[in-house]
Amino acid sequence: MSSTSSSTLSSLGVGSGIDANSIITQLMAIERRPIAQLQSAASDLDTKLSTYGKVQSYVDTLGTAAKALNDPALWRAMSASSSDSTSLGVTAADGATAGSYSVQVGTLAAAQMTAGTAVASTTTAIGQGTLHIDIGSWAADNSSFTPKSGSTTVDIDIGPGEDTLQAIRDKINAKTDLGVRASIVNDATGARLVLQSTTTGVANGFRVQVSDDDGNDADASGLSRLSYDPANGAAVATRSQAAANASATINGLTVQSATNTLSDVIDGVTLTLTKPTTSPVTVSVSANTASMRSAITSFVKAYNDLMSNLRTQTAYNADSKTGGPLQGDQTALSIQRQVRMAFSAESSASSVFARASDLGLTLQKDGSISTSSSKLDAALTKPSELQKFFTASGTGSVGIGLAQRVNTLTAALLGTDGAITSREDGLRKLKTLNSDRQQQLEDRASATEARLRKQYQALDTNMARLTSLSNYVSQQITNWNKA
């Protein structure tokens, strides 16, 4: 506001002696009452929008819980247990066949390992030449070696400056597809180059032949100290571990595997062998009722959370004589009714369970659901019927599963033209109209205040002029009387 305007306002009433500012303030307070009412209504609209945002979140959570129950993978999930998990681990894939198996672990799969003769240090030069490495299997007495089908001999040339244990180790490990890895072990006699198959199993052993630059490919000096070829009399390196398959018996049947993981002997079940056993281990495979229970519990919680929120927001407190933000809101009340009906409806989807109470989910007077653990435990022994009860999508409303009904309902409520979306859009439009009306009334109030101030300013000016004239007349009369 300019200084001139401030001066005019502050001097208003000086000429007339009337407290015009106070009168205008009181008149404007009356003028602005509709604006205050609109502001209060706007605050209520904001509260309703915020409340519906929470309702939307609760409905979305319920829909997500219903989708989890509708997922066929939930009902195909299997769990497996081992009576001796330190010797035998077990996992079951979805759809595995339920059953009990007696498993005894005989031997574990192993990788071949050889150690060359010891040298003074890792930087000692041992000789040049070429290493010829093959992957394959050895006869039980090492009298013959059979290369693995599809494999080829890998030649590793060891030239000048490359013949220390460190350098040879690095050249071997640079061959990532070799099937053998190298490391250096230091023992009491010195440093040794240790070679080990990268994969367990009889067929993944290896043979090391050497073309030694010293002319002797089978002695304990030069590069030939790394050779392992007993079938041809060149076994300078020592084999500390032979390649071996894992072996076990399952229900009396002998099985073998190149690895300690058996994934193709029991349909859908993976066995992990960790150590031999002296007695049979019991492996049990059954439906994963724990995950089913968890999904049902999450569904019930999502339902209860939504209904509790709606109950609170639509309630009226007789003691405080105040209602919730959505008291009397027909959309909120309709959502309550629809969700409750979807849950309590009877279904013919399952021949065992007709209503939720049959599996221990009982509707209470306040609209919440209570869960009977014992009845739910009993229901979980019939997972196929539970699946039908929740997920069936048959014809007619009675043939539709509970989770299907709830999933369809929540999707409809949250859809583009759904009840919640439409109600929120309606509240936003009311808020826009409210804001526009507030601005109109603000403009009118500003115009009214300007008009009143102009009128009182004119009154002030006229009163000041009349007062001045009255004072002049009084002065003249006084002078006449003196004369």
pLDDT at residue 395, rounded to an integer: 67
Q: Mean pLDDT per 10-residue run, the chain (483 residues)?
A: 41 62 84 87 89 94 96 92 96 91 97 94 92 96 95 95 94 94 93 96 97 89 93 92 97 95 92 96 94 96 96 88 89 94 89 92 92 95 92 77 93 93 92 90 87 81 79 84 79
Distance between CA 36 and CA 441 in Å, rounded?
Answer: 10
> What tokens does 37 get?
């009412």
β-strands 78-82, 281-287 pairing: antiparallel
Q: Which residues share a beta bridge with 186?
A: 191
How far, in Å, are 187, 241, 317 from residue 244 at the CA level? Answer: 26, 9, 78
If we measure between CA atoms, which residue out of 185, 59, 65 comes closest to residue 117?
Answer: 185
Q: What is the pLDDT of residue 464?
A: 74
Euclidean distance between CA atoms 121 and 327, whole angstroms:
87
Element (H, E) at 206: strand 205-212
Which has the closest alpha carbon to 234: 209, 212, 255? 209
Cα separation of 386 and 378, whole Å? 11
Number of H helices, E strands in the chain: 11, 20
Report CA Rg, the chain. Answer: 46
What is the biggest distance separating any 2 CA atoms in the chain, rounded to whole angstroms?
162
Residue 92 DSSP SS3: strand
Can you name the residues that pair with 132 across neighbouring β-strands?
Answer: 155, 209
**pLDDT for res 79:** 93
Say what the pLDDT of residue 60 is: 96
Report the distance separating Cα 17 and Cα 337, nearest Å.
67
Task: State the pLDDT at residue 16.
Answer: 57
Q: Are 349 and 388 in contact (CB under 8 A)?
A: yes
Q: How many other CB atoms are there within 10 angstroms of residue 354's CB atom? A: 14
The residue behind tokens 């209520």 is 44
Q: What is the DSSP letter of 150?
A: T
Note the Cα 6 to chain centre separation in Å: 63
What is the structure's pLDDT at 14?
Answer: 54
Order of all β-strands in the sheet with 99-107:
78-82, 281-287, 99-107, 246-250, 253-257
Give me the helices (H) in 315-349, please. 330-344
Alpha-carbon distance of 349 to 404, in angstroms, equals 11
How many C-alpha atoms does 339 have within 13 Å on its Cβ side? 33
| Residue recorded with tokens 């993981």 | 261
Q: What pLDDT shows up at residue 7?
A: 42
CB 190 within 8 A of CB 117: no
SS percent in the chain: helix, strand, coil, step 5: 45, 25, 30
